[in-house]
Structures are given as C-alpha cells and as structure tokens.
Amino acid sequence: MTPAEAMDVADPRGRALVVLAHPRPGSFNHALAAAAAGVLTARGWSAGLRDLYAEGFDPVLSAAELDTTRTAVVSPDPLVAEHQALLAAADILVVVHPTWWGKPPAMMSGWIDRVLAPGVAYRLGAADAAPEPLIQLAALVVLNTSDTPAERETEVFGDPLQAIWERCVGEYLPARSFQRRTFGPVGTSTPEARAGWLRDLERLLPS
C-alpha cells in the first residue's frame, strides 16, 4: 500500500505529514523521508510525503503575510494554504532536512515561516503573553543529516537546530512526543551505515 492509497483507508489511526527539504533527488534525506512514510503507513497511520523542492514550494514570506492584523488567516499562496490544511489535520509531523549552518535550509526555513502562521498553528495572546497553540500533535519527529561529526556539531557549533525545533517551534506546535536525530557524517558513510540508520529510524517514529 502506498502512502497515497493509505489516505483512502476508511478508519486510519490518524494522519502523518512528512515534509522533506533537500535539493537532490535520490539524497539520503529522500531515503529517510520515504522510509518514515513507509514505516508509519505499515503501522496504520495515513501518511503523506511532501517534497518541497519537487513541488516548487516558495519559501519567501511576503509583507502581506506578516500583517497579523489581517482577517484572512489562510495564505494567499495556494500551495502554502494546502500545507496549512495538511498540518492542521496532522497527528504526526515528521520533518526531514540537512543541517546547513546550524539551521534548516532556506526551503524548510520558509516552510516554517509561511505555514506556521497565526490563526493556523497558534493564536497570539496579549503583548508579551505566551501564544495559544491551535494544533496538538501526538508526535513531532525531526530527522536531520550532517557532514559534521556529532561531537563537532555539538561542541563547536552548539547544535542550534535542537533549540529551533524543540523550543522555538515546539513552543508554538506542542507535541506529546518530541524526537530528533542527526544522521551522519553522510558524505563519508558506507551503504551499510546508511542502511543501519534507516533501521534506527523505526525507533524514532510513533508505534
């Protein structure tokens, strides 16, 4: 059963959205995203995989979208609006992207900027007050790749991606389970190591 066919199952356990940002088809990020969707489908979730590069997602937030006083909360960009609807309906969000400069690539950065809009993901409170989340996820799973050894990523670079996803995004998009793993260094890895990482993935995903 493909993820697309799984969407037709009458009584799925719930919906999983897998969002991928990597420029090269056939990358290990693509393998991770496909494996995640496959594992979740096999476990009875209705899983959809969205490849932002393949879709031509536009990551640039416009001045109009910045205006939090506007009444329409859905994006004027139909593709962004579609992602907002998918996110609102999701029980599980899996994001897959490489670590570039300690942050997500611009493509994934813009998915966050544009899709997680006020009125969609959260409601802004009074000035200085915490936001009120509108989406409650069962699980947020972040799968990253890096060509930097793990020790250097943490000790030299400080791994800011952990704070971005767990704290900055997580505060507005709360999940009962948060899992993150960085796989790598990918560039120098063996096929056996990569196969092992794809198996490790199973433990990071909701049962």
Asked if 149 touches a copy of itself (CB under 8 A), the answer is yes
Out of 127, 190, 191, 192, name the contact with a copy of itself by CB under 8 A. Answer: 127
* Whole-angstrom distance, CA of residue 175 vs CA of residue 157: 26
Is 179 a binding residue for a copy of itself by CB under 8 A? The answer is no
Q: Does 105 bind a copy of itself (CB under 8 A)?
A: yes
Distance between CA atoms of residues 142 and 160, nearest Å: 13
At 68, give phi and psi (nearest 5°).
-75, -5
Q: Which stretch binds a copy of itself (CB under 8 A): 1-9, 74-82, 157-165, 175-183?
A: 157-165
Establish if 62 lies at the interface with a copy of itself (CB under 8 A): yes
- Beta carbons of 52 and 107 less than 8 angstroms apart: yes
- Amino acid identity for residue 181 in this structure: R
Task: Tell me: does residue 70 bind a copy of itself (CB under 8 A).
Answer: no
> What's the helix, strand, coil split of the chain in %, to 5?
40, 20, 40
Q: Which stretch binds a copy of itself (CB under 8 A): 84-92, 110-118, 174-182, 190-198?
A: 110-118
Minimum gap (Å) between residue 181 Cβ and a copy of itself: 18
Angstrom distance (rounded) from CA 125 to CA 137:
20
In the block, tokens 């997602």 appear at 57
Q: Which residues bind a copy of itself (CB under 8 A)?
A: 23-25, 53, 59-63, 65-66, 100-107, 109-110, 112-113, 116, 127-128, 149, 152, 156-161, 163-164, 167-169, 171, 185, 187-188
